[in-house]
Chains A and B, each alone.
Chain A
Amino acid sequence: MITNKEVFETVGMIRSQHLDVRCITMGISLLDCIRSSAAETATKVYDKITTYAKDLVSVGEKISTMYGIPVVNKRVSVTPVSMIGAASGGYLAIAKAMDKAAAETGIDFIGGYTALVQKGATAEEEAFLLTIPEALSTTKKVCSSVNVASSRAGINMDAVRRMGEIVKKTAFLTKEEDSIGCAKLVTFANAVEDNPFMAGAFHGTGEADKVINVGVSGPGVVKAALESVDGDLTAVAETVKKTAFKVTRVGQLVAKSAASMLGARFGIVDLSLAPTPAIGDSVGRILEEMGLERVGACGTTAALALLNDAVKKGGIMASSHVGGLSGAFIPVSEDIGMIEAAEMGALTLERLEAMTAVCSVGIDMVAIPGDTPAEVISAMIADEAAIGVVNQKTTAVRAIPVYGKKVGDSASFGGLLGHAPIMKVSEYSPLKFISRGGRIPAPLGSNKN
């Protein structure tokens, strides 16, 4: 039988260290919903989502009761809408159908208002991109993502330039709520097709019809495990590995149970350490536990590299299929350790950028001044894309130019999205560089230095 120590270790992780299943995400293919008229496509989309995901919330609750572990979010990701709506041009009608289906099924978010334009965009995709601000400002639960770069294709700088403008317009249209629309919009390099986390989840075209992907989360558990480690950094890495293994095993159990109950395929477990604004659920605090006075101090990138690598090594054996983003997340507004460090000036945008070279995912949930020009946001995206493309990893930007606010102010997004100080951005202009457009060629795969 399981020992007392083991039982109370698990119970303690759940009761006092915030171990939870962050999300059960059902990926649904919409390829069979394509029709030549916008209204017909939207109806098909609504019908398919509400049929496939009708039991998603109740199954999530059932699993939560059975295993005594919170299942925080139930979500749906769909095939990129830029493809589904291309024949009819009815992108916004699809967005509204997705939002209505999300409300009907009771899920928390629905992702896939997405375009993949890493090498170039069709006329239909260009038209789709222009609808993103309106889609995000007129729906509640729809999330959007755009892939603008990949290690094989390089960086589509025309799309990068466009995304700066789209982020600005989305910020303006949702200005009454601290530009919250931008919290639902991610610009990716090397986007993955099976990510369960929002706002970047979409259901890739290489996926099956109905798939369950699960994200577990346990920054608090890792932090608590490290509190009793007095040894060197090898001992720290070993402890993180063991903890990540245990956390991921729970994810594997939940993913298999959910897939079987919902008649779906088990896709992947995402190993990401995802923080929330709650006390004791912070990735920043793990880095501080390793011995940094504040996250952002010199040494932060090294500590994060250790953490990210150990989480992967521990988690990979615990699940039969690992995928998604699988790394440590560093969203500023969603992590109390990061919020505090940014408020006191210990954590700067430049340090954050360096951190993204060694973890998933990128400049995430960072509030910047509302008057930041579009080309500066585009240039931030280009920098992040370059890190991803050269290092063959996923990177992303989810920056929020909070309308009407400046450095020293703070923005509040509510719930899991948290709050954040407005961070300083370089005021020197990249306008000419961004205006050039074109493509940054794919990097060399050899002669690495």
Chain B
Amino acid sequence: MKVIISVIGKDRIGIIRDVSAFLAELQINIVDISQTLMGEYFTMIMRADTEKSAMPLDKLTKVLAEKGASVGLTIDLRSEEIFNAMHRI
């Protein structure tokens, strides 16, 4: 499934490294990345593919959120369909 992963947290060195490491560990393939600073906050969205991951989606979402929280980041994962539905006609 194609998903959008959104990451938000206080800017610091190594955020992309941390998140990429989590995704590699969970066998999630990154397809596209876009990031920007909003004030002192770092925000990033990744388009990714969960096809190779062995974990069911509910567990994947939970594990990723926990890993994110452990390094001070809020990480959400959702099917990209909801974003397309809301923002593209």
Contacts and interface: CB of A to CB of B under 8 A. Distances in A.
Interface stretch (B11-19, B21-29, B73-81): B73-81
A67 B87 contact: no
B33 to A, nearest CB: 10
Contacts of B81: 66-67, 253
B86 A1 contact: no
A106 to B, nearest CB: 17
B6 A2 contact: no
A15 B75 CA distance: 12
Contacts of B47: 1-2
B40 interface: no
Given A1-B34, A68-B77, A7 B85 contact: no
Contacts of B4: 2, 7
Interface stretch (A137-145, A190-198, A244-252, A291-299): A244-252
A8 B58 CA distance: 21
Contacts of A66: 1, 57, 78-79, 81
**Which residue among B32, B61, B76, B80 has the maximum number of chain A CB atoms within 10 Å of its CB?**
B76
Contact of B87 (A6, A11, A65, A68): A6
Interface string B59-72: 00100000000000
Contacts of B87: 2, 6, 9-10, 246
Interface residues of B, number: 28
B41 to A, nearest CB: 10
Q: Is the interface of A mostly helix, strand, loop or mixed?
A: helix
A257 to B, nearest CB: 8
Contacts of B1: 66
B45 interface: yes
A4 B45 contact: yes
Contact of A68 (B34, B82, B84, B85): B82
A4 B85 contact: no
A67 B4 CA distance: 10
Interface of B: 1, 4, 6, 8, 32, 34-36, 43-45, 47, 57-58, 61, 76-88
Cβ-closest 4 pairs across A and B: A68-B78, A253-B85, A67-B82, A65-B58
Given A8-B6, A9-B87, 10 more contacts: A1-B47, A4-B44, A4-B45, A6-B83, A7-B6, A65-B58, A67-B78, A68-B61, A249-B85, A250-B86
